[in-house]
Amino acid sequence: MQKKTLLLIISWSLGGLMAQAQDSTLNPVTVSASLSQQRASETGRNITIIPGDRFNKLPVHSLDDLLRYVPGVEIQARGPMGSQSDIVLRGGTFQQVLVILDGMRLNDPNTGHFNSYIPIAPAEIERIEVLKGASSAIYGADAVGGVVYIVTKTFAARMGQKSTKVTAGAKAGQYGLWGADAGVVYSNNRLHLAGGVLRNQADGVQQRGTTGYFNNTTASVSANYWLSPSWRIAYRFAYDTRDFAAQNYYTTFLSDTAGEKVTSRWHQVHIGYEKNRASFSVDGAFKSVTDGYAFNKLSAANSSVSKLFQWRLLYGYRFSKHSNLAGGVNFLEKKIASNDRGHHNLYQVSPFVSLTQKLWEGFTMRPSLQWVYFENITAELVPQLDLSQQAGDWQLRGSVGKTIRDADFTERYNNYNKALVTSGRVGNPDLRAERSLSYEVGGDWFRKEKLKVSATFFQRFHQRLIDYSTTAYADMPRKTNLSPTGTYALAKNVAEVNTTGFETDAQYIHDFGQGHKLTAGAGLVWLSSSSSDSTPSFYISSHAKFLTNFSLIYEYGDLLVSVTGLYKQRQEQQAAAINAALSRDYFLMNAKVQYGFFHNMLAVYAQVDNMFDRQYSDLLGTPMPGSWFMGGVQLRWKR
């Protein structure tokens, strides 16, 4: 109890220092909630927005590292520095968070474990918007717990901007760590170019009885050209590869000494028109992911290639300053070719419409509706209503909506194509799409341009939740390639899961002038989930019951000091076969000290991750590193 009290004090002291009218830094324009530009406070939703430059200021190494310290976000990491992480919002499963890059969805049709492999170099990111709660009426399937929406500098650029910015960095540290990042952003009236690379690798991280490794690289380039003041075209290509030791990432077997390599290629195109009150855009993207996984040196490797084709037509019209309409249609085609899961494909079409209407001063409502048609699966009609009312320094908000999620190819066909399966997780082709009803009520308090405090109560009533549950051989629906003596976890629709939670977060920004600035944020989440299934399903028992995370950046002249931390409580778990356990809780803190030269064009820094050397795991059997010391240099130039 003393530890929890201490964490509460730390979190709120970082988020709520000296409170002094609402400004665009704490209440910025967002696109994630309504597909059109709108102040965050008017959306009726709890949205946290992280500027892209936060990446190089905080002690983080990858985008999942950065998200780990965003208020309300739980990251369940299997390995360090982008090896593999699951993104969890409001107690959902890791497949129930939708990740979007400049309007195009990134969620992989093979497995949600790949959703944190975001193919964009940090140098290209303008901002990250985290929209918490039901969003299927806007974005369709998978947006159950929320949406992580990434906006990049190139695709967000406006005509007339002129600037050049170059960044580069290198680091080295314990466990054979070395890494590098670089980026360039160029704008000249009509033409906007950007590109970057991020590299992390190490070979000394200890796993159970062996030494782990990771070699992770992300590179991306993009261009945006304004053909006229009304028309523009943009294109991006990205390459991402993660090569890592994956021992016990997916099993708790003693014989598991797995290794895995996941390589992604991403193409994206945008054609946009905007004039007077109307806007129109055509967006397309193609994603190809190659996954090679070997359970151990004696087993045959699983090899899968998944592909995602998608198009979106979006039309917007502003009737007046009080009324705005957005509508369009999404088209998806998902494919997989796998020696483990077989060859499958699925189409999805979903028209949608959303109206933003201000009825009186300070009051905004937004009804939205999407019809999602799955090939060979029952279509779903998905409505939602968001409300917001300003009252002085307060913004009161509420939302109610339906959400849906269809099974990925792993949930449907895992171990389906093998000759003999003696144990492990087994897919189920007969899974039905999840559906749930969610509602939330909350408010935001703004205090004199420096402080924003938010609080939200929410509930989600889930039907047919898809999760793995231990199932006896006699009860398996398909026994063709199963052993009668095997132990299996079957993917199935859990009858009912209800989640209740409360989240509160604070952001504090104080620019004292003359290079003296403090930026802090903190969040607290309490969660409770109950299931009608007699045997608790795997992921429902894995999410945090209590979570607080925080970050702080202090800048004074040439000096920068930053801290990130989190405290998590969850259900204890044991795996006797591999002598592994999940503790009831853990506290983690990282720190970075940086000093700049030549007006901060060149900077050197020292950093320590897990500064208290806490032994912990987010998922059973996957220990994370202890204290990790490193240092590096950063170069910044702009004109």
Contact 262, 216 (CB under 8 A): no
Nearest C-alpha neighbor of 105 from the set 308, 336, 249, 281: 308
Token reading at 190: 């009509």
Residue-level length of the chain = 639
Confidence of residue 316 (pLDDT cuts 50, 70, 90): very high
> What percentage of the chain exceeds 90 in pLDDT?
71
pLDDT digits (tens, 9 = 90+) for 249-302: 988 888 999 999 999 999 999 999 999 999 999 999 999 999 999 999 888 899
What is the rounded average pLDDT of the residues 381-410?
A: 94
pLDDT digits (tens, 9 = 90+) for 48-107: 999 999 999 999 999 999 999 999 999 999 999 999 999 999 988 889 999 999 999 999
Rounded Cα–Cα distance for residues 338 and 305 (Å): 6
Q: Where are the domains of the chain?
A: 2-638
Residue with the two structure tokens 């936060």: 54
**Which tops the pLDDT comparison, 1 or 568?**
568
Rounded Cα–Cα distance for residues 368 and 136 (Å): 9
Q: In this predicted structure, what is the pLDDT of residue 564?
A: 97
**Which tops the pLDDT comparison, 140 or 198?**
198
Residue 148 Cα distances to 63, 397, 468, angstroms: 11, 20, 25
| CATH number for the segment(s) 2-638 | 2.40.170.20
Contact 212, 201 (CB under 8 A): no
Residue 523 Cα distances to 20, 51, 439, 516, 612, angstroms: 20, 17, 20, 24, 21
Residue with the two structure tokens 């004074």: 556
Contact 321, 357 (CB under 8 A): no
Q: Where are the alpha helices (DSSP H) in 83-134?
A: none
Facing residues of 47 across strands?
131
**Which tops the pLDDT comparison, 272 or 159?**
272
Rounded Cα–Cα distance for residues 202 and 609 (Å): 14
Q: Whole-model pTM above 0.85?
A: yes
Residue with the two structure tokens 């159970």: 208
Nearest C-alpha neighbor of 492 from the set 474, 517, 466: 466
Rounded Cα–Cα distance for residues 46 and 441 (Å): 10
Q: In this predicted structure, what is the pLDDT of residue 539?
A: 64
pLDDT digits (tens, 9 = 90+) for 204-262: 888 888 888 999 999 999 999 999 999 999 999 999 999 999 999 988 888 999 999 99
Nearest C-alpha neighbor of 533 from the set 496, 491, 571: 496
DSSP calls for 16-52: SSS-----TTTS-EESTTTSS-EEGGGTTSEEEEEET
Q: In this predicted structure, what is the pLDDT of residue 535?
A: 64
Q: Tell me: pLDDT of 4 over 70.
A: no
pLDDT digits (tens, 9 = 90+) for 431-456: 998 999 999 999 999 988 899 999 99
Mean pLDDT of the chain: 90
Q: Tell me: pLDDT of 12 over 80.
A: no
Q: In this predicted structure, what is the pLDDT of residue 543?
A: 86
Contact 302, 293 (CB under 8 A): yes
pLDDT digits (tens, 9 = 90+) for 540-594: 678 899 999 999 999 999 999 999 999 999 998 888 889 888 999 999 999 999 9
Which range, 200-204, 268-272, 393-397, has the best average confidence (pLDDT)? 268-272
Token reading at 600: 């901060």
The 10 Å Cβ neighbour count of residue 499 is 23
Q: What angle do CA 342, 348, 349 make, to 5 degrees?
A: 165
Contact 626, 610 (CB under 8 A): yes
Nearest C-alpha neighbor of 382 from the set 364, 406, 362, 359: 406
Q: In this predicted structure, what is the pLDDT of residue 568?
A: 96
Q: In this predicted structure, what is the pLDDT of residue 127?
A: 93
Q: Tell me: pLDDT of 382 over 80.
A: yes
Q: In this predicted structure, what is the pLDDT of residue 191?
A: 96
Describe the strand order of the beta sheet including 97-101 as a list of residue ranges: 46-51, 125-132, 146-152, 97-101, 104-105
Rounded Cα–Cα distance for residues 65 and 85 (Å): 9
